[in-house]
């Protein structure tokens, strides 16, 4: 099922904002059957209204029982899954002067554990597609921040690095089953989350451009879908430097101690 003209059964989380919204529209316009998940039922219904093949599955991915209930409905409607795109997530920045472990937990809940709950729920449906002769793909949106430790990104960067490590390991174990795992590592994309950032965002791209790169990468079963490459390749290079040099570079990016920070939580719906 690698042909781009094939109608796929797809589950997309974080579907009503930013990258997820652009992906949802592109996939639905292409005629795919897409199960759309997000926390806002009204936004989901508005997104799905023009597309008879869309299925609304409202949920908070950090609620494990809600994830299980949603995939029971998904299985009933679709049978199996050709693609599972786990895109829901959040971002909060940590002020080390007022260390807040609750903030870290809030970030890890959807970014890591929510994704893991969705992996557990999606795998039986991906296996069914494989038994039917398909070439299923499990994908998740990590971040280019996973490549390199950055100031104030202790919670966000660690949650994404953990997600990348988890899925890279899982990829090795799923290889024998014929289930591919793709990791998506975006740089800066214009979304409601990045609109809140109070620092320069080099090479920021529009969500529609991001969606096109992601879909092309999934169709090609790429292991690492990262973009824009002129930015993400630099981050990869910096992340491979000796730790002392990385530390000196990171210190130059740190804020002055007197700078006030806004750590208000924001979630992709």
| CA dist list (Å): 199 to 144, 151, 234, 253 | 16, 11, 18, 10
pLDDT 10s per residue in the chain (269 long)? Answer: 334 468 999 999 999 999 999 999 999 999 999 999 999 999 999 999 999 999 999 999 999 999 999 999 999 999 999 999 999 999 999 999 999 999 999 999 999 999 999 999 999 999 999 999 999 999 999 999 999 888 889 999 999 999 999 999 999 999 999 999 999 999 988 877 777 877 777 878 899 999 999 999 999 999 999 999 998 998 898 888 888 877 887 777 765 443 333 333 445 54
Q: What is the pTM of this model?
A: 0.88
Given this model, what pLDDT does residue 260 score?
A: 32
**How many CB atoms are located within 10 Å of the residue 23 CB?**
28
**CA distance from start to end of the chain:** 30
Calculate Rg over the CA atoms of the chain.
Answer: 18
| Cβ proximity of 190 and 177 under 8 Å | no
Given this model, what pLDDT does residue 3 score?
A: 43
* Structure-token pair, residue 221: 């079963």
Given this model, what pLDDT does residue 144 score?
A: 94
Query: Could you give the 3-state DSSP secondary structure of residue 266?
Result: strand
| Cβ proximity of 48 and 65 under 8 Å | no
Domains defined for the chain, CATH in brackets: 9-267 (3.40.50.720)
Name residue 37's beta-bridge partners. 13
Query: Could you give the 3-state DSSP secondary structure of residue 191?
Result: coil
User: CB-side exposure of 108: number of CA atoms within 13 Å?
Assistant: 11
Nearest to 192 by CA among 99, 98, 131, 266: 266
Q: 145: which DSSP letter?
A: G
Could you list the beta-strand ranges (E) of 119-198: 137-141, 180-186
Non-local CB neighbours of 235 within 8 Å, separated by 6+ positions: 144, 147, 148, 187
């Amino acid at each position: 099922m690698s042909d781009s003209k094939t109608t796929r059964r797809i589950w997309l989380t974080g579907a009503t904002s930013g990258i997820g919204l652009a992906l949802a529209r592109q996939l639905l316009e292409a005629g795919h059957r897409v199960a759309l998940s997000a926390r806002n039922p009204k936004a989901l219904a508005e997104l799905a209204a023009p597309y008879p093949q869309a299925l609304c599955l409202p949920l908070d991915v950090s609620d494990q029982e809600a994830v299980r209930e949603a995939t029971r409905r998904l299985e009933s409607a679709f049978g199996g899954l050709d693609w599972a795109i786990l895109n829901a997530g959040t971002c909060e920045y940590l002020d080390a002067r007022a260390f807040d472990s609750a903030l870290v937990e809030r970030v890890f809940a959807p970014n890591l554990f929510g994704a893991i709950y969705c992996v557990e729920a999606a795998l039986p449906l991906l296996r069914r597609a494989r038994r039917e002769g398909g070439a299923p793909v499990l994908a998740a949106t990590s971040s280019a921040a996973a490549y390199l430790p950055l100031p104030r990104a202790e919670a966000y960067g660690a949650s994404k690095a953990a997600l990348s490590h988890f899925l890279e390991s899982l990829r090795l174990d799923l290889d024998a089953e014929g289930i591919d795992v793709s990791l998506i590592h975006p740089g800066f994309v214009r979304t409601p989350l990045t609109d809140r950032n109070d620092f320069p965002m080099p090479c920021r791209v529009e969500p529609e451009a991001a969606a096109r790169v992601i879909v092309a990468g999934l169709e090609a079963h790429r292991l690492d879908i990262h973009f824009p490459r002129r930015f993400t390749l630099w981050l990869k290079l910096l992340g491979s430097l000796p730790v002392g040099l990385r530390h000196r570079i990171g210190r130059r990016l740190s804020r002055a101690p007197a700078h006030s920070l806004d750590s208000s939580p924001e979630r992709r719906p």
